[in-house]
């Protein structure tokens, strides 16, 4: 009798472990769409160049709505549990601009509503390492591109590309449910700005380190229909642009800035 109990216990453990790994792989083989809401936290700072003010020059903050499309798959192609994922998101809305007028007044003298439009592209490759049967760790490399349009003044467009190393940890405590934790460290390159208007210019910006982190949950309502909820964070900075002469002894530049995004997402996916 003792041997039967032990055998049944082993079979139950194996079934649970298999179910966990199966659910994780199912969550990684999806095409999905999501509604997203991104909190923008943007700050420009001056260092006194050209006699400009030091400290905070202006900020933009607020929630911007958008949508996202994603595609991921995990198959045994090369290293085993090969993981490939791509995502695109687009957001359009407004933020609250706090700064100063060109005539002076200092930070806080101007409070306006500013247009905002953001696009993010990313693609990653990794390989999953099975843990105890209910968990998986997937180290990966990621490439991406980012563009942001600020409606302040005549409009400004920022852009950069990035590369990074990350890890995706997943855990399936019960059938159909998968929790994911994601973290990435990277670096931007090709950072640039285009300033519109009569005093506009286009030039490079300084690059920086880039950080991403996220938490999410995926639930399979049916074999092919999945629901998804998550929150993601991204942080990077731009260094000051070169100084531009506008003629007549007038010069301009784009100051240092830091950007932090917090995005909440809710959507559905089709598992294949």
Per-residue pLDDT tens digits for 203-229: 999 999 999 999 999 999 999 999 999
> Quick one: pLDDT at residue 80?
85
Residue range 93-102: average pLDDT?
92
Closest by CA position to 25, among listed 67, 62, 80, 73: 73
pLDDT band of 81, cuts 50, 70, 90: very high
Mean per-residue pLDDT of the chain: 90
Least confident of 45-54, 202-211, 233-242, 256-265: 45-54
> Quick one: pLDDT at residue 17?
36
Sort residue 127 into left (φ over 0), alpha (ψ -120 to 50) or beta. Answer: beta
> Quick one: pLDDT at residue 39?
98
CATH topology classification for 2-271? Lipocalin (2.40.128)
Burial class (CB in 10 A: 0-12, 13-18, 19+), 184: buried
> Quick one: pLDDT at residue 206?
98
Helix (H, G, I), strand (E, B) or coil at 62: strand
122-139 burial, b if ≥16 CB within 10 A, otherwise e?
bebebbbebbebbbbbbe
> Quick one: pLDDT at residue 52?
78
Give the torsion sign (CA, 201, 254, 211, 177). Answer: negative
> Quick one: pLDDT at residue 20?
53
**Residue 19, pLDDT above cutoff 50:** no
> Quick one: pLDDT at residue 50?
81
**Residue 4, pLDDT above cutoff 70:** no
Residue range 224-247: average pLDDT?
95
Distance CA 172, CA 178 (A): 4
Residue range 68-80: average pLDDT?
94
pLDDT band of 55, cuts 50, 70, 90: very high
Percent composition of the chain: helix, strand, coil (DSSP 3-state, to 5): 10, 70, 20
Distance CA 229, CA 219 (A): 9
**Residue 194, pLDDT above cutoff 70:** yes
**Residue 8, pLDDT above cutoff 80:** no
> Quick one: pLDDT at residue 248?
85
Distance CA 164, CA 180 (A): 19
Distances (CA, A) of 20 to 84, 118, 171, 173, 228: 20, 36, 8, 7, 17
> Quick one: pLDDT at residue 16?
35
Please state whether beta strands 82-99 and 110-127 pair in parallel, antiparallel, or not at all (unpaired): antiparallel
């Amino acid at each position: 009798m003792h041997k039967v109990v032990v055998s049944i216990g082993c079979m139950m453990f194996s079934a649970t472990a298999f179910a966990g790994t199966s659910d994780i792989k199912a969550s990684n083989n999806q095409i999905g769409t999501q509604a997203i809401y991104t909190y923008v936290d943007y700050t420009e700072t001056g260092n006194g160049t050209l006699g400009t003010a030091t400290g905070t020059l202006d900020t933009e903050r607020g929630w911007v709505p958008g949508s996202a499309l994603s595609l991921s798959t995990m198959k045994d192609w090369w290293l085993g549990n090969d993981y490939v994922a791509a995502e695109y998101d687009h957001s359009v809305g407004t933020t609250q601009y706090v700064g100063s007028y060109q005539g002076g007044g200092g930070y806080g003298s101007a409070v306006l509503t500013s247009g905002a439009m953001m696009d993010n592209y990313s693609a990653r490759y990794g390989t999953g390492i099975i843990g105890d049967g209910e968990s998986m760790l997937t180290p990966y490399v990621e490439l991406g591109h980012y563009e942001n349009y600020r409606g302040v003044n005549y409009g400004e467009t920022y852009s950069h590309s990035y590369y990074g190393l990350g890890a995706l940890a997943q855990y399936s405590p019960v059938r159909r449910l998968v929790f994911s934790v994601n973290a990435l460290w990277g670096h931007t390159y090709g950072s640039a700005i285009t300033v519109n208007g009569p005093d506009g210019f286009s030039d490079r910006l300084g690059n920086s380190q880039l950080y991403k982190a996220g938490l999410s949950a995926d639930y399979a309502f049916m074999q092919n229909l999945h629901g998804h909820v998550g929150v993601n964070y991204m942080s990077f900075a731009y260094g000051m642009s070169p100084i531009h002469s506008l003629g007549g002894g007038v010069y301009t530049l784009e100051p240092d800035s830091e950007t932090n995004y917090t995005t909440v997402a809710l959507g559905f996916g089709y598992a294949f």
